Chains A and B, each alone.
Chain A
Amino acid sequence: MVPITTLHYVIVAAGLFVLGVVGVLTRRNVVIVLMSIELILNAVNLNLVTFSRLWGLHGQVFAIFVITDAAAEAAVGLGILIAFFRNKETVNVDEVDLLKW
């Protein structure tokens, strides 16, 4: 069996990233778009941790920062979603077409 190298992990991360991009670009539901963004962030995290095995722990520290960022993003994003749902009774991104209420 082939030993697992850095390349394997990087390929998995790339796959997750592409899946996340597809989700962001094609789905209508805001919640799923936000989840796709989480997928993208996780792909980045996997890359960072993978490379931290080669070049010291800096990658892991960055992964922790990315997780913090994801938490902040999810909180604000979901807050916006709730405000939006309260006003327009919908969760579809392409119906967010009012710049001003």
Chain B
Amino acid sequence: MTPIATPFFFYLLSGLALLGGILVITRKNAVHSALALILTLLALAGLYLMLYAPFVAGVQIILYAGGIMVLFLFVIMLVSIERSQKEEQFNKQWIVGFIAAGVLGVLFVLVYVKGRALLPAPTAQIPNESQNTQNVGVLLYREYMFAFEIASLLLLVAIIGAVVMAKKRI
């Protein structure tokens, strides 16, 4: 089945993602920022589907939007935010920060302008989407087995770290 209206969906989803990103860094209220970030994450999941990566899109929804963001919202509601809303939102170095980010953006633009020829043309054939999960699984458990184990260790350390940090008395 060939995809329909690819440009339309691309511009819609990437527009939503960028809009969400802008809202994240401009909102006063942290909950609004979190909701904008969820919008970005879901739009990115849509973009992954368009890139024939359904498994990553599913993981993005279930882990990012359903797991990590719930954690964020939980913590935001736990620490009271009324006071921080009335305070100054941007720190003293915000001019430097904007300049640095702007320079980074210009750098990206320059790289694209100069290095456009290096980017390969999109491949003509559509990747095998119906076997995507199986193929990712094979890669994950064969070639990247060691990295996978390291990731599980990382998660273990993170669990212990989070418990140690957040617990009042151990």
**Chains A and B directly touch (beta carbon < 8 Å):** yes
Interface residues of A (CB under 8 A from B): 1-12, 14-29, 31-32, 34-36, 38-39, 42, 45-46, 49-50, 52-54, 57-58, 60-61, 63-65, 67-76, 78-83, 85-86, 90-94
**In the complex, which of the residues A10, A31, A46, A71 contacts B75, with contact meaning CB atoms closer than 8 Å?**
A31
Q: Report A-chain residues with C-beta under 8 Å of the C-beta of B109.
A: 14
**In the complex, which of the residues B6, B101, B127, B164 contacts A25, with contact meaning CB atoms closer than 8 Å?**
B101
Q: Report B-chain residues with C-beta under 8 Å of the C-beta of A81.
A: 75, 79
Complex CA distance for A61 and B147, rounded to whole angstroms: 10
Interface residues of B in 103-133 (CB under 8 A from A): 104-105, 108-109, 112, 116, 119-123, 127, 132
Known: A7-B119, A35-B34, A39-B37. A18 touches B101 (CB 8 A): yes
Interface residues of B (CB under 8 A from A): 6-7, 10, 14, 17-18, 21-22, 24-25, 27, 30, 33-34, 37, 40-41, 44, 47-48, 50-53, 55-56, 59-60, 63-64, 67-68, 71-72, 75-76, 78-79, 81, 83-84, 87-94, 96-98, 100-101, 104-105, 108-109, 112, 116, 119-123, 127, 132, 135-136, 139-140, 143-144, 147, 151, 154-155, 157-159, 161-166, 168
Complex CA distance for A49 and B24, rounded to whole angstroms: 23
Contact, CB under 8 Å: A20 / B21: yes
Instruction: Name B67's closest neighbour in chain A (CB-CB).
Output: A71
Contact, CB under 8 Å: A53 / B52: yes
